[in-house]
Amino acid sequence: MTRTVGVDDPQDVPVGGGSRLSGLTATLLRSRTELAILLGMVVVLALMPAVVSGQLLTIAVRVLLFGLLGVAWNVMGGFAGQFSFGHAAFFGLGAYTTGVLLVEVGLSPWIGMAVGAVVAAIYGALEGWLSFRYKLQGAYFALATFAFAEMLRLFVLRSDALNGAVGYRVPLLPESSWWMLQFPPDSPNYYFVMLGLLTLALVVVILLVRSTPGLFILAIRENEPAAEAAGVSATKYKVTAVALSAAMTAVGGSFYLMFFFFIDPEIAFGPRLSVEILLPAIIGGVGTIWGPAIGAVLLIGLGELSTMLVRNPPAFLSFLDGRSGVDLLIFALLLIGIILFLPRGVYGTFANRVQR
Amino acid sequence: MTQTATAARRPPAQMLRTAGIAVAVIAVIVWRLTTLVVTPTVIVQAVLTGLMAGAVYGLVAMGLTLIFGVLEIVNFAHGALLTLGMYLGFLLVDRLGLNPYATLIVVVPALFLVGAALQAGVLNRAMGQPLENQLLLTFGVAILIENGLLLTFGATPRTVGVTFGAPLRVFGAVASFPRIIAFVAALILAALLYWALQRTKLGTAIRAVGQNAQGASLVGIDARRIYVLTFAVGASTVGAAAVLVLPFLQTEPTTGAAFTIIAFIVVVLGGLGNVTGALVGGLAIGLIQQLGGVLLPGQDSLMAVFVVFLLTLFLRPEGIFGGRAT
């Protein structure tokens, strides 16, 4: 297949009943390499606030957030091979559930995060089931996910009960609180929370890919009729992947609300967000474990770099000073360049080279 | 002709289901109409406005249905190409004092070249790659065009200062003259494209590649060249649409972006690669949008469009007006 293979080194994955061990133990054993790499990275990243602070730390939080969103998208778009162009729906459901429970009921955002994940998973399962039931594929499937997200956006936009176009603002607390997930703006705690959430997402993905259901999901992506012939229910596993992806994306939405203190229908459900969620995975490498996180570093890094270039242009670009649109122009050129010259994503291309 | 053939082959149960859904939808609409206090003028105006807006959707979607149907590229730069054509037309009117409609002779060939360059220079390298890569390439191109225009012209909306006589009155409803011209032009353009696809050598080659690129290559058609020409023809159709909407739409860097997704919906509704389907689909979407606003007060007018779109995807994925015409 022309697509990047889901598992980076398939040879050490026992196929079918090759393993005597069952369930979680076997999965853990198979994923020990990835989990060890993850542990090492988390330890290094946890030390970052000691060196970095202020503006740079905020950028780091955004990198981690979009890393999480990319990892979440990749479960559906990469491993299950169902290209979603409407992940904003799940993000928005997470953010709005948290917002409503926090502002109207006064519940902790942690509860909102959990409830939002469940709501998004149910919505995702429904969206997935309908789409698979009617056998939507490729561009049709992508456009359907887009329509699902747009319908939510339009509904919220016109709903007085959900504050319409105004959206939700997080009420400010006098003191910082872990329970209410609110800290002073320069606090490294946001960074730690986001690092924890991304780590959790990566653990889930690693375990998924190395588990039997995960192998089924990959098998269905590679050859659905063959998987069905072998007795695997394609719809069941694809819907599971969509629901899991939706729940993880919703968690990102909840965190977004708590970090930026504000959401409205355009921010939370808009098509622009749907694109921003899928970009990290595509730039990093679709269907790889580490690709989306690496893609988020590159994506946010490139975005910041082009903004910086425009704000303080070097001499040869000084004619661009103060013009709007230049940063996006540079961003678009970089995006086109990456897709043309590294069509499997930065990490995807690299991982492939290493294998050969 | 092809439609009757498909209808004959379709199992009766499915036909019954389609008919049942159609009857249900019509029943709901009639029920809403009788319960609502709406004057006939409001309905006539909604139908007229819907048809006029729908013709524009059809115009924009005609080029897209070729690109999507033949090249299978999800072209997210389609709206941006429309904007590009509008700015080009605006410049010609503004600097040279041309009649807006006279700019057709420059804008259409110019967009043809832009489309050819895009396909030959960028998209041909990504043919055969996963759908998302092509989608993001055209997305990048769209950002490039939009922000290039923003950089050059600024965000101020531009209009061509041309006045036409008093608006036309139909049963108490009003339609402006440039919109009627766009409506008629949409009919002509659809007929022209249909003829070109069915009767010319290039059209036949385009249809052949759209049906089976490998088979077309085997009989000596250079598929890559046809890709370039198809995209170019699609882009020049958008160029024609740009000129036709110039007199009544404001030109700003984001004008076209709003049309992209509607154009996709129209293409799916009309059937991939089906030019006349795109026109009928456009008119249908225009009507749904306007009547949806009357029938579902309080909801966004686009809501009804998305509902119909999803229902079409689920129940008649080959489009409601028969299968592929290519």
Taking an 8 Å cut-off on Cβ atoms, the answer to whether B150 and A325 are in contact is: yes
Other CB atoms within 10 Å distance of the CB of residue B294: 19
Q: What is the mean pLDDT of chain A?
A: 86
pLDDT of residue A1: 37
Nearest to A252 by CA among A53, A71, A58: A71
Counting every residue written for chain A, the total comes to 356
Q: What is the structure's pLDDT at B282?
A: 93
Least confident of A94-108, A129-143, B4-18, B142-156: B4-18
Q: What is the mean pLDDT of chain B?
A: 84
Q: CB distance from A138 to chain B under 8 Å?
A: yes
Q: How far apart are CA B2 and CA B10, in angstroms?
A: 12
Q: Which two tokens stand for residue B168?
A: 């036309």
Residue B305 above 60 pLDDT? Answer: yes
| Residue of chain A whose alpha carbon sits nearest to that of B303 | A151
Examine the pLDDT at A23 and tell me if it is beyond 60.
yes
Length of chain B: 326
- The ipTM of this complex is 0.82
Tokens matching residue B111: 């967009």
Which chain A residues contact residue B133 at CB under 8 A?
282, 339, 343
The residue of A302, A339, A349 whose CB has the most chain B CBs within 10 angstroms, and thus the best one to mutate to test that interface, is A339
Residue A42 identity (one-letter amino acid): V
The CATH topology of domain B50-157+169-315 is ABC transporter involved in vitamin B12 uptake, BtuC (1.10.3470)
Whether residue A45 lies within 8 A of chain B, CB to CB, comes out as no
Asked whether the beta carbons of residue B131 and residue A282 sit closer than 8 angstroms, the reply is no
Count structural domains, chain A. 1
Decide if pLDDT at B316 tops 80.
no
**In chain B, what is the straight-line distance between the N-terminal and C-terminal CA atoms, in Å?**
13
pLDDT tens column, A165-187: 899 999 988 888 899 899 988 88
Which chain B residues contact residue A332 at CB under 8 A?
140-141, 143-144, 147
Chain A contacts of B310, Cβ < 8 Å?
144, 147-148, 151
Among A4, A151, A283, A327, the residue to mutate for chain B (most B Cβ within 10 A): A151
CB-based contact A132:A238 (threshold 8 Å): yes
Res B165: pLDDT:
64
- The domains of chain B are located at 50-157+169-315
CATH number for position A230: 1.10.3470
Q: With residue B158 as reference, give the H or E element that holds it.
A: none
Rounded Cα distance, A219 and A289, in Å = 16
Residue A96, domain member (yes or no):
yes
Q: Which two tokens stand for residue B247?
A: 């007199």
Q: From chain B, which residues contact A within 8 Å (Cβ)?
A: 68, 72, 74, 122, 125-126, 128-133, 135-137, 139-141, 143-144, 146-148, 150-151, 155, 253, 261, 264-265, 268, 298-300, 302-303, 306-307, 309-310, 313-315, 317
In a domain, A298, yes or no: no
Q: What is the pLDDT of residue A315?
A: 64
Reduced to 3 states (helix: H, G, I; strand: E, B; else coil), residue B168 is strand
Rounded to whole angstroms, how far apart are CA atoms B258 and B72? 21
Q: Is A294 left (phi over 0), alpha (psi -120 to 50) or beta?
A: alpha
Q: Min CA distance, A142 vs chain B (Å)?
A: 9
pLDDT digits (tens, 9 = 90+) for A215-240: 999 999 999 999 999 888 899 999 99
Q: A52: domain range?
A: 22-268
- Please give the structure tokens belonging to residue A44: 């290094």
Task: For residue range A67-99, list pLDDT tens digits in order.
Answer: 999 999 999 999 999 999 999 999 999 999 999
DSSP-derived pairing of the beta strands B168-170 and A262-263: unpaired
> pLDDT at position A3, please?
43
Condensed to tens digits (0 to 9), the pLDDT of residues A54-68 reads 888 999 999 999 999
When pLDDT is cut at 50, 70 and 90, the band that residue A30 belongs to is confident
> pLDDT grade, residue B164 (50/70/90)?
low
